[in-house]
A and B are shown apart, each in its own frame.
Chain A
Amino acid sequence: MTTLWAGLGAGAVYALVALTFNIPLAASGVFNFAQPQFTMLGGFLAFEGLRQGWPLLLVLGACVVVGGLLGVLEERVAIRPFVRNTTSRAALVTTVGFAVVLEGVAHVIWGTTPQAVPFPGTDSTLDVAGGRLGVLDLTVLILAVVACLSAEIATRTTGWGLANRATTIDPTAAELRGIDVTAVRRRAFALAGALACAVGPLVAAQVTASVTLGNNLLILAFVALCLGGFGSHVGCLVGGVAVGLVQALGARYLNGDWALVLLFAVLVALLLARPSGLFGARRQRTV
Chain B
Amino acid sequence: MRRSTTFRIRTLHRRFGWAVALAVGLVAIVVPPTMLGVYDQRQIALIAVYTLIVSGLNLSFGYAGELALGQVAMFAAGAYVSAILANHGSKDLLLGLVAATLAAGVIGLVSGVPGMRLSHWSLALTSFFLVLLVPKVVSLFADQTGGLLGISSTTGPTLFGRPLGFTGLLTVVLVVTVGWLAIARNLVLSRFGDELRVLRESPLLASSLGLSTFRVRTSAYLLGSLPAGAAGCLVAYLNGFISPDSFTLELAIVLLAASVVGGSASIYGAPIGSALLVLGPLQTSAFTQFSVLIYGLFLLVIGVVFSGGISGLITLVARRLDGRLPVVADAVDDSAFAEHAIPGELLGVRGLTKSFGGVRALDGVTLEASPGRITALLGANGAGKTTLLNAVSGFVRTDEGDIVLGERRIDGEPPHAIARAGVRRTFQTPLIPHSMTALETVMSGRLGQRGGRGLSAVLRLPSFRRSRRADLDAARGALAFAGMADVADVDAQSLPLGTRRLLEVVRAVAGEPRLILLDEPAAGLDDDGRAELARLIRRARDAGGTVILVEHNVDFVLGLADHVHVMALGSVIASGPPQVIREHPEVINSYLGRRGRPESRTEARAEVADR
Which residue of chain B has its CB nearest to the CB of A111?
A: B289
Q: Is the interface on chain A under 10, 10 to 19, 20 to 34, or 35 or more residues?
A: 35 or more
Flag B238-268 by CB within 8 Å of A: 1 or 0 each: 0000000000010001001000100000000
From residue 246 to 287 of chain A, which have CB atoms closer than 8 A to chain B?
256-258, 260-261, 264, 267-268, 271-272, 275, 286-287
List the count of A-B residue pairs having beta carbons below 8 Å apart: 134
B253: chain A residues within 8 A (beta carbon): 96, 100
**Contact, CB under 8 Å: A104 / B296:** yes
Are A97 and B289 CB-contacts (below 8 A) given A31-B121, A78-B304? no
A142 within 8 A of partner (CB): no
B303: chain A residues within 8 A (beta carbon): 78, 90, 93-94, 97
Are A107 and B292 CB-contacts (below 8 A) given A93-B260, A268-B110? yes
Which residue of chain B has its CB nearest to the CB of A21?
A: B121
**Contact, CB under 8 Å: A258 / B120:** no
Q: Which of A107, A212, A257 contacts B293 (CB 8 A)?
A: A107
A92 within 8 A of partner (CB): yes
**Contact, CB under 8 Å: A287 / B396:** yes
Q: How far is the CA of A50 from the CA of B111 in the complex (A)?
A: 42
Flag B260-294 by CB within 8 Å of A: 1 or 0 each: 10000000000000000000000000000111111
A99 within 8 A of partner (CB): yes
Shortest beta-carbon distance from B301 to chain A in Å:
8
Shortest beta-carbon distance from B303 to chain A in Å:
4
Which residue of chain A has its CB nearest to the CB of B389?
A: A287
B140 within 8 A of partner (CB): yes
**Contact, CB under 8 Å: B293 / A218:** no
Q: How far is the CA of A77 from the CA of B300 in the complex (A)?
A: 8
Are A104 and B295 CB-contacts (below 8 A) given A260-B136, A264-B133, A267-B126? yes
B118 within 8 A of partner (CB): yes
A189 within 8 A of partner (CB): no
Q: How far is the CA of A139 from the CA of B126 in the complex (A)?
A: 30
A57 within 8 A of partner (CB): no
**Contact, CB under 8 Å: B293 / A94:** no
B536 within 8 A of partner (CB): no
Shortest beta-carbon distance from B331 to chain A in Å:
28
Q: Which of A98, A271, A272, A275 contacts B300 (CB 8 A)?
A: A98
Shortest beta-carbon distance from A1 to chain B in Å:
26
Which residue of chain A has its CB nearest to the CB of B204?
A: A287
From residue 74 to 90 of chain A, which have CB atoms closer than 8 A to chain B?
77-78, 81, 87, 89-90
Are A96 and B299 CB-contacts (below 8 A) given A257-B136, A287-B396? yes
Q: Which of A93, A223, A256, A286 contacts B67 (CB 8 A)?
A: A93
Flag B365-397 by CB within 8 Å of A: 1 or 0 each: 000000000000000000000000010000110
Which residue of chain B has its CB nearest to the CB of A274?
A: B117
A90: chain B residues within 8 A (beta carbon): 303-304, 307
Shortest beta-carbon distance from B201 to chain A in Å:
8
Q: Which of A78, A81, A219, A272 contacts B125 (CB 8 A)?
A: A219
Shortest beta-carbon distance from B69 to chain A in Å:
8
| 6 examples of A-B residue contacts, CB within 8 angstroms | A100-B295, A100-B299, A218-B125, A264-B133, A272-B114, A272-B117
Q: A103-B292, A108-B293, A272-B114 are in contact. List 14 more A-B contacts (CB 8 A).
A: A31-B121, A33-B121, A81-B304, A87-B202, A89-B67, A92-B67, A94-B303, A94-B304, A104-B292, A107-B292, A111-B289, A218-B128, A258-B136, A261-B140
Return the 3 tightest CB-CB contacts between A and B, nearest first. Answer: A104-B293, A97-B299, A100-B296
